[in-house]
Amino acid sequence: MPLDGFISDKYFFSPIISLLVESNSKDAIIELIKNKHKEELENDILFEHKKNDLFMWNIVFIREVLAKATFKESFSDLYNKFYMKIFKASTIKELQALELEIASKYLDLLIYDAVVTDTFIVNKILQYLHVNIENHVSLEKLAKDLDISMSYASKCFKGKMGMTIMQYSKKIKIERAKSYLLSTNKSILDIALLLGFYDQSHFTRTFKAFTGITPTQYRNNNYL
């Protein structure tokens, strides 16, 4: 039964979490949750309200992660483990720590254990690109780090994904940029450098090529 006067977490009604999960933005999600926790303490959120929210977040995160990829393991045990931890918690601080644990665990699984295709080498390349999303990535370095030839990596990846490795790398960087533009106050230049672009101009050109608008226009049009 819902509590009388229950006010649910505002982020249930915002697309920002889905956007951040879509771009594997673990750090941004954790930072958002920590800021939310400060607001909860300042506003003296009721324990039962927070517990109800966390039961819902356990469902939200597992659905978001499973919607994006498949996995070799079942998540029922993990879901039930978190459910019981929430059920047994006795303080707001415990619930807040659990929220960070839940988000971190599901996102780590998504980044490191997701099976996006049925081709092993393509999955390894995808994982590499997501893990190194905030680094400058070259085809030569990727092939060396994964101990495969550049030609083989390129052929396998384009055959399965329909685009080159570098095109995909830019695509996910732009998706991550979108989440930074909406969830942080970082400048356009800071975001560009953080994601391994040479400068703001290079970042803006790439962003517009993928989205049809500039980063500034995207932030102004969508900022929540």
Q: Over the stretch 79-100, which tens digit does the pLDDT of each residue have?
A: 888 999 999 999 999 999 999 9
Q: Does residue 4 surpass a pLDDT of 60?
A: no
What was the pLDDT predicted at 184?
Answer: 81
Domain boundary among 97, 113, 129: 113
Nearest C-alpha neighbor of 111 from the set 89, 130, 88, 83: 130
Span 139-165, average pLDDT: 94
Structural contact between residues 7 and 49, judged by C-beta atoms closer than 8 angstroms: yes
Nearest C-alpha neighbor of 51 from the set 2, 104, 106: 2
Q: Which residue has the higher pLDDT, 11 or 169?
A: 169
Residue 1 lies in a domain: no
Structural contact between residues 207 and 218, judged by C-beta atoms closer than 8 angstroms: yes
Phi first, then psi, for residue 4 (nearest 5°) are -60, 130
Grade residue 25 by pLDDT with cuts at 50, 70 and 90.
Answer: confident
d(CA 80, CA 19): 26
What was the pLDDT predicted at 116?
Answer: 67
Do 90 and 131 belong to one domain? Answer: no
Nearest C-alpha neighbor of 197 from the set 131, 132, 135: 135
d(CA 84, CA 67): 24
Do 133 and 39 belong to one domain? Answer: no
Amino acid at 196: G
Do 74 and 162 belong to one domain? Answer: no
Q: Does residue 155 surpass a pLDDT of 80?
A: yes
What was the pLDDT predicted at 6?
Answer: 47
Grade residue 115 by pLDDT with cuts at 50, 70 and 90.
Answer: low
What was the pLDDT predicted at 10?
Answer: 81
Amino acid at 145: D
Q: Does residue 5 surpass a pLDDT of 50?
A: no
Tokens (6 digits) for 104: 């971190």
pTM: 0.65
What was the pLDDT predicted at 69?
Answer: 65
Do 207 and 135 belong to one domain? Answer: yes
Do 20 and 108 belong to one domain? Answer: yes
Q: Which domain holds residue 204?
A: 120-222
Residue 46 lies in a domain: yes
Query: Token pair 């059920």 is at which residue?
Result: 87
Mean pLDDT of the chain: 86
Give the bridge partners for 78, in sequence order. none
6: left (phi over 0), alpha (psi -120 to 50) or beta: beta
Residue 146, Cα to own-chain centre: how many angstroms?
Answer: 23
How many domains are there within the chain? 2
Do 18 and 103 belong to one domain? Answer: yes
Span 19-34, average pLDDT: 83
Give the bridge partners for 115, in sequence order. 70
Span 171-178, average pLDDT: 90
Query: Token pair 């949750």 is at which residue?
Result: 33
Do 140 and 181 belong to one domain? Answer: yes
d(CA 220, CA 214): 10
Nearest C-alpha neighbor of 64 from the set 33, 19, 13: 19
Do 95 and 175 belong to one domain? Answer: no
Span 178-205, average pLDDT: 91
